[in-house]
Amino acid sequence: MAQLMTTFNAAPEHIDPRVQAARSWLRHTLGDSALALEPASEDASFRRYFRVHRQGTSLVLMDAPPELEPSEAFLRIADWLAQCGVHVPAVHDHDLDQGFLLLEDLGDLSYFAALRARPDRADALYRDAIASLVAIQQGGRAFQQSLPPYDEALLRRELALFTDWLCGTHLGLGSSRAEAAQLEAVHDLLIASALAQPRVFVHRDYHSRNLMVCDERNPGVLDFQDAVAGPISYDLVSLLKDCYLVWPQADRARWIADYHAAATQAGLPVGPADEFNRWLDLMGVQRHLKAAGIFARLYHRDGKAGYLADIPRTLDYVVEVARTYPELGEFGSFVERRVLPTLAARPQ
């Protein structure tokens, strides 16, 4: 954040050229040369966000270099989610050629910040988040066929992130032939479970850092541009087994039951509770292995070290589930006895 603020205050010859282009575009779009800008948030991608202060109001500028982060999907999916009744930021203007979007400002209080400060708000905030998720899945049926499929190829590429980036690049962990065969069997199990689930509109990053606390139509929903048609349990496990926040099992079980009841009432194909819970558990293992690999990749490929601290918490979910599923027992032991200790011993 401090680095970005310095960029805005630097001498003209040192200013980021995209910041200069953004200022020029904003002056033309808003007809106002007296614009105050400040960093709005960090992002794990190449996108950046800046708050635009103008005449007592604020908007958010999304800077998405088109060669790295095309914005067409953002616009399309924002429109679909708005039609579902979901509170996504309204788009006031955009220039896709330059990669600038001017958005409604949903504030700066994320679920992550709110829940860390006030855990007693969890029931109310998760009630709203679950209602919004059901709206996405129910209303999203009208647009689901236009989304990319969360298919076997994508699931396998995601699982490979754990092996390649975390175990390999980050930890230097080799595997025996038996361990490699075991890992392949685990991948097959997780993929089969994911593909067996009913397909719905999947946000794909529905968690505390992408949900904003809003006074009206809570929550505000962000970072939806990678939506896919995929397993019905995916977004719920993202929400309740969050890589950044951990809740007691009793709380998670209660919220899962609340979702299951609301989804059943909405006519969503969640199936019997015991079957859904198994889907949720195995989907969580797939997601957490993927996320742990992504966090390592962010460090080694993109120079972003801040996510390394989230890896142990993320893998603890894998160990937790593996203890209750015999078919995951050996793999859970591998994570618990080799991956986590090696991670803890590695200097950051």
**pLDDT mean for each 10 residues of the chain (348 residues):** 31 66 88 73 76 86 91 96 98 95 95 97 98 98 97 97 97 88 95 98 97 97 96 98 97 98 98 98 98 97 94 98 97 96 88
Pairing of strands 199-202, 228-231: antiparallel
Alpha-carbon distances of 225 from 67, 167, 228, 299, rounded to whole Å: 16, 29, 9, 23
Rounded Cα gap, residues 190 and 183, in angstroms = 11
Indicate where the chain has its CATH 3.30.200.20 domain(s).
Answer: 2-104
pTM for the full model? 0.91
Specify the pLDDT at position 83: 98
Contacts of 345 (CB under 8 A, 6+ apart): none
Rounded Cα gap, residues 310 and 293, in angstroms = 11
Contact 171, 342 (CB under 8 A): yes
Specify the pLDDT at position 323: 97
Specify the pLDDT at position 44: 58
Specify the pLDDT at position 183: 93
Q: Class of the 111-345 domain?
A: alpha beta
Contacts of 303 (CB under 8 A, 6+ apart): none
What fold does the segment set 2-104 form as a domain?
Answer: Phosphorylase Kinase; domain 1 (3.30.200)
Specify the pLDDT at position 115: 98
Alpha-helix runs per DSSP H in the chain: 2-9, 17-30, 72-83, 111-117, 122-139, 152-161, 177-196, 234-240, 249-265, 273-300, 311-322, 329-334, 340-345
Rounded Cα gap, residues 280 and 266, in angstroms = 19
Rounded Cα gap, residues 170 and 168, in angstroms = 6
Paired strand residues for 199: 231
Indicate where the chain has its CATH 3.90.1200.10 domain(s).
Answer: 111-345
Paired strand residues for 54: 57
Specify the pLDDT at position 11: 34
Q: What are the phi and psi torsion angles at 199 (to 5°)?
A: -85, 140
Rounded Cα gap, residues 37 and 15, in angstroms = 14
Specify the pLDDT at position 1: 25
